[in-house]
Chains A and B, each alone.
Chain A
């Protein structure tokens, strides 16, 4: 990784320029990373207990998600893939809303329509993501066009994995953004695996070289180095805000667990490989350096983990008692107004549901 940006080496040694962050900001950054890890671990437990259907963790890549997103401004947008929910929490998504989305319950702002782990948060400009790989890239480009057309300074950061570099959206998104010179930061989180396909099998080229074809400057970054990820995003957003156009960041990291809670990675990769990345853990290395710097005290991580888990558990308890999902949400939000044919379909359904006692108060028919 000699040719990639690195500030903090795997053993916690500072090998680059110290960031212009005060102790409190550094401590916050560490806490955000740790919160995401605690969240992932807690959600996996809930999944194993059968209370959450699906978890796609960012475990082992917290520096990539949190470090880069920590350099975004309030007005910037974060167009996500599967694993940036923790970045949304850092940027303002309340924990209880995060849990509601994992539970897909009536408190979920998406009204339980998406499967678990598909977050959104309008308040911090974190749009709803579909499960289709790569489609969000041209969206970010179009939205950046809109921001720029109004003279706003917002930058649109769009996150995707190594597999998504093979998708239509990557090529059309990069090409349009380059051609129109828009304030977009493409963030390729190369975590080594697209489900079971290794990142080396997506392309014969290097990910960072793909920028050249679109006239977009690209940079490879140690994705387990939170300070490097933050610095790279800070530089890219500064460039974008100055009207100099898009950038591509390739954050080289590793997906420590399966693609999701439904995947068994031991079928396609070796324990030796996983172990070699365990030694580059982004939280461990940041902890070592922060402890040396006196930002963290000895054993503080343990105390923080207990506190963070308690905070998460409180959010979980809040969501355990969510009201039942209103049945009318079956046909709402397809269009702004519910059209007649959907009202009729719903009413036919509701009369059967009522007969069998599965409808509750308020579920009654639409007036036609």
Chain B
């Protein structure tokens, strides 16, 4: 066990996967000798050579498009998109090609690949270094969407994603890159995709969250506990395919639900969770579901701390569903 930050755990996971599987390779913008703008790929070129960790021309469309060709021809590409905000030139390649190749070819061709990308706010990055685009991608059949919130999960989920036979978008909460630390096993291990993590058990209110919102919700829950409200916090970890059974069980267990994400509200991931609960277990609900989200606006710079759901807004929602 080593005590690592989330970004160190990602780096450790990449190294473990590359040691295990000689067909894996890492590429993207500035991921080579520099080691990436956040240093996620630090040391990879030195250890694995520039054949397996290298810089590409500056084209997201090219990065993902070539990754698909590599994956279809026997390699296990791990592509980095420097910021999730820059992924949209590759949206076509991800949505029309990687996600649909297996289906449209009747399983004759597949694209087992991982796209790693830092997402989310909290670093004063403004509109184009802060977005949370998980809803666009969770709406894409054929793609898996994974978001870790702890160093342990970051490494275990990343290795599971790399081993997965289908394309995985691995979204890393950049706000947590260096702000969380935790015990991480050495060597290779996996955390199974499409499983939930119970962050905190509680009988009163269930809070669904993921990524950088998890520590925010934990702080809100600690404050709520001071006034006797016990929260059941669920870290979704894999948004697609989601463990729907687990979500419904967790919702039923308290009958009161809050969802939290930093992405905009309209058609956001919280809307899917709410609809799923309404459709399947509404008879267990004691209160309307509350969503705590970013605004339906572009992402601001100076006021980002007000745009992002914070402990007070989460606590307010917890209290509202509890006292309903």
- Do chains A and B stick together as partners? yes
Residues 67-124 of B at the A interface (beta carbon under 8 Å): 67-75, 77, 89, 92-93, 96-97, 100-110
Judged by a CB distance under 8 angstroms, whether B56 is at the interface is yes
| A146 / chain B contacts, CB cutoff of 8 Å | 69-70, 73-75
Q: How far is the CA of A336 from the CA of B168 in the complex (A)?
A: 13
| A149 / chain B contacts, CB cutoff of 8 Å | 51, 75
**Contact, CB under 8 Å: B73 / A122:** no
Distance (whole angstroms) from the CB of B226 to the closest CB of chain A: 38
Binds B, one of A24-32, A55-63, A170-178: A170-178
**Contact, CB under 8 Å: B108 / A340:** no
**Contact, CB under 8 Å: B102 / A335:** yes
Q: Count residues of chain A with CB under 8 A from any CB of chain B.
A: 48
Binds B, one of A133-141, A189-197, A233-241: A133-141
Judged by a CB distance under 8 angstroms, whether B230 is at the interface is no
Judged by a CB distance under 8 angstroms, whether B274 is at the interface is no
Judged by a CB distance under 8 angstroms, whether A127 is at the interface is yes
| A336 / chain B contacts, CB cutoff of 8 Å | 102, 110, 165-166
> Are A113 and B67 also in contact (CB < 8 A) when A132-B92, A149-B51, A172-B62 are?
no
> Are A341 and B242 also in contact (CB < 8 A) when A168-B89, A172-B65, A176-B56 are?
yes
Residues 54-102 of A at the B interface (beta carbon under 8 Å): 77
**Contact, CB under 8 Å: A335 / B241:** yes
Judged by a CB distance under 8 angstroms, whether A200 is at the interface is no
Distance (whole angstroms) from the CB of A208 to the closest CB of chain B: 22
**Contact, CB under 8 Å: B59 / A333:** no
Distance (whole angstroms) from the CB of B141 to the closest CB of chain A: 5
Q: How far is the CA of A198 from the CA of B269 in the complex (A)?
A: 44
Judged by a CB distance under 8 angstroms, whether A130 is at the interface is yes
**Contact, CB under 8 Å: B70 / A113:** no
Q: Count residues of chain B with CB under 8 A from any CB of chain A.
A: 45
**Contact, CB under 8 Å: B67 / A120:** no
| B244 / chain A contacts, CB cutoff of 8 Å | 340-341, 344
- Nearest B-chain residue to A131, judged by Cβ: B96
| B142 / chain A contacts, CB cutoff of 8 Å | 334-335
| B57 / chain A contacts, CB cutoff of 8 Å | 172, 175-176, 179
Judged by a CB distance under 8 angstroms, whether B174 is at the interface is no
**Contact, CB under 8 Å: B72 / A127:** yes
| A168 / chain B contacts, CB cutoff of 8 Å | 61, 89, 92
**Contact, CB under 8 Å: A173 / B65:** yes
Binds B, one of A14-22, A103-111, A249-257: A103-111
**Contact, CB under 8 Å: B165 / A139:** no
Judged by a CB distance under 8 angstroms, whether A150 is at the interface is yes
Judged by a CB distance under 8 angstroms, whether B66 is at the interface is yes
Judged by a CB distance under 8 angstroms, whether A227 is at the interface is no
| A132 / chain B contacts, CB cutoff of 8 Å | 92, 96-97
| B301 / chain A contacts, CB cutoff of 8 Å | none
Distance (whole angstroms) from the CB of B201 to the closest CB of chain A: 24
Judged by a CB distance under 8 angstroms, whether B144 is at the interface is yes
| A332 / chain B contacts, CB cutoff of 8 Å | 107
Q: How far is the CA of A342 from the CA of B61 in the complex (A)?
A: 30
- Nearest A-chain residue to B65, judged by Cβ: A138
> Are A143 and B73 also in contact (CB < 8 A) when A109-B108, A130-B100 are?
yes
**Contact, CB under 8 Å: A339 / B194:** yes
Q: How far is the CA of A179 from the CA of B54 in the complex (A)?
A: 13
> Are A128 and B105 also in contact (CB < 8 A) when A168-B61, A175-B57, A340-B245 are?
yes
**Contact, CB under 8 Å: B97 / A335:** no
**Contact, CB under 8 Å: B59 / A142:** no
Judged by a CB distance under 8 angstroms, whether A147 is at the interface is yes
Q: How far is the CA of A244 from the CA of B59 in the complex (A)?
A: 24
Distance (whole angstroms) from the CB of A337 to the closest CB of chain B: 9
Distance (whole angstroms) from the CB of B145 to the closest CB of chain A: 12
Q: How far is the CA of A242 from the CA of B69 in the complex (A)?
A: 21
**Contact, CB under 8 Å: B96 / A142:** no
**Contact, CB under 8 Å: B75 / A138:** no
Distance (whole angstroms) from the CB of B97 to the closest CB of chain A: 5
> Are A139 and B245 also in contact (CB < 8 A) when A128-B108, A150-B74, A175-B59 are?
no
**Contact, CB under 8 Å: B108 / A138:** no
Q: How far is the CA of A156 from the CA of B66 in the complex (A)?
A: 13
Q: How far is the CA of A171 from the CA of B101 in the complex (A)?
A: 22
Judged by a CB distance under 8 angstroms, whether A289 is at the interface is no
| B73 / chain A contacts, CB cutoff of 8 Å | 77, 142-143, 146-147
Shortest 4 CB-CB contacts between residues of A and residues of B: A142-B69, A138-B65, A172-B62, A142-B66
Subset of 26 A-B contacts with CB under 8 Å: A110-B108, A113-B106, A128-B104, A128-B108, A139-B66, A139-B68, A141-B65, A142-B67, A142-B70, A142-B72, A142-B73, A143-B69, A150-B74, A156-B69, A172-B57, A172-B65, A172-B66, A332-B107, A333-B102, A333-B103, A333-B105, A335-B165, A336-B102, A340-B245, A341-B241, A341-B244
A residues bordering B, Cβ < 8 Å? Answer: 77, 108-111, 113-114, 118, 120, 122, 127-128, 130, 132, 135, 137-147, 149-150, 156, 168-169, 171-173, 175-176, 179, 329, 332-336, 339-342, 344
Add 5 more A-B contacts to A138-B65, A168-B89, A335-B144 (CB < 8 A). Answer: A110-B106, A141-B65, A143-B69, A175-B62, A333-B105
